[in-house]
Structures are given as C-alpha cells and as structure tokens.
Amino acid sequence: MLKIWGRMSSINVKKVVWTAQELALDFQRTEAGGLFGVVKTPDYMALNPNSLVPVIEDDGYVLWESNVVVRYLCAKHSAGQMYPTDIHERFDAERWMDWQQTTLNPASRAGFWQLVRTPPDQRNDALVAESNAAVEALMATLDAHLAQRSFMVGERFTVADIPLACEVHRWFGLPQTRQSRPHIERWYAGLCARQASKGVLDMALS
C-alpha cells in the first residue's frame, strides 16, 4: 500500500493525494506538518531530512518533493497517458510543473499567508498588493496558454494539470476580488468535476 504523510491543508500534499486518487491507488495518509507536528521527529526526518510534507513510501521506496512524487506515481502507473512518453509532450508537462513550483507558487505565497494564515489585525497590505500584482501577471500568461488547448498539454489530462490546478484552487479561494480569466475558469471547472479531485479542489483554504 502507498503511504503518504502530510496534512490536507498543504498545497503540496493536495497534489499527491489527487494524483493517487486519479490513479485509483490504495493509499494510507498520515497527518503530519502544521498543527499535527511529526515532521521534526527522528523517524520522520529519516524519511525526509528537510522536515517538510509530503513524503511517500511505495513498497519501501521513499520519495519527497511534491511535483517529483506526482511525476513518479504517474510514470509508474500511467505512462503514455497522465505521464506522456512523447518527449515533446513530456517536457512540455515538466516545464509547466516547474513553472508552478519556481515561479507561480513563490509569487502567490505572501498573499496566501497574509489573507488566510495571518490574523486580520496583523496583515501587511503592502505584501498582499505586491503578491497580487505578481500573480495577476502570471495568471494572464496561464490564461493565454489555456486559450489554445483544453488542458495544460494539449487535449488530454496529464501530470501537468494537477500542480497548476492546486495553485489555481488556492488563488480562487482567497477572500478578495480578482480579474476574470475565462480560459482558466473553464479549465478549472472541468477539473473540479473530476471525481478524483474531490476532497482536494473542493476544500476550503486553511
């Protein structure tokens, strides 16, 4: 059985759980991180010396870094479908997964923390405004990309859609106004309708 450690309030844990559900894998999730603790214990740090979530154990094989875990599971269980084997499709997917983790997520982080995890009387409005401006520009890029295709990589659901949709879920859940992005909204609505995204994209932010 696949074992997953991590709390569902983590965007990175959401990615892995959704992937496991898409693949119809039998898995067991253990709460870890945040209020649950666990991540600083010696046993956990033996799995992930970074003390972060998620971590998986798959038949004795331990792996961390959320986007890598998503790739691994899809490569093992859905090669040629969720994990493209065509080299151009594969690296198109890889590119967008990296963009989520290295560009979009860092831009959105301050706004999320201020609006969701910081008490109202302690919020820094300047940080929120700076984060929002950066994310709006990136969402314009994503919207233009999705104007030309049904999913992140062409006309079928792949490994690339999961991290980007988890990021959009967080952006759409923030208690603020945002610009309309019709192509993102169409794509995201379709992903929310997938049975495997239940318990992930329908969660309130915390």
* Cα(61)–Cα(117) distance, integer angstroms: 34
* Cα(197)–Cα(188) distance, integer angstroms: 11
Q: What is the pLDDT of residues 150-171, one digit of tens each?
A: 999 999 999 999 999 999 999 9
Rg (CA), the chain: 17
Which tokens is 114 given? 């201020």
3-state secondary structure 37-72: CCCCCHHHHHHCCCCCCCEEEECCEEEECHHHHHHH
Q: What is the pLDDT of residues 9-19, one digit of tens each?
A: 999 999 999 99
pLDDT band, very low/low/confident/very high, at 119 (cuts 50, 70, 90): very high
Arch. (CATH architecture) of 2-77: 3-Layer(aba) Sandwich (3.40)
pTM of the model: 0.97
What CATH number does the domain located at 87-197 have? 1.20.1050.10
| Main-chain phi, psi angles of 153, to 5 degrees | -125, 85
Which residues lie across from 57 on neighbouring strands?
Answer: 3, 62
Given this model, what pLDDT does residue 124 score?
Answer: 97
165 CB neighbour count, 10 Å cutoff = 27
Q: How far apart are the first and last CA of the chain?
A: 28
Sketch the domain layout of the chain as residue ranges: 2-77, 87-197
Q: If we measure between CA atoms, which residue out of 109, 151, 103, 149 comes closest to residue 132? A: 109
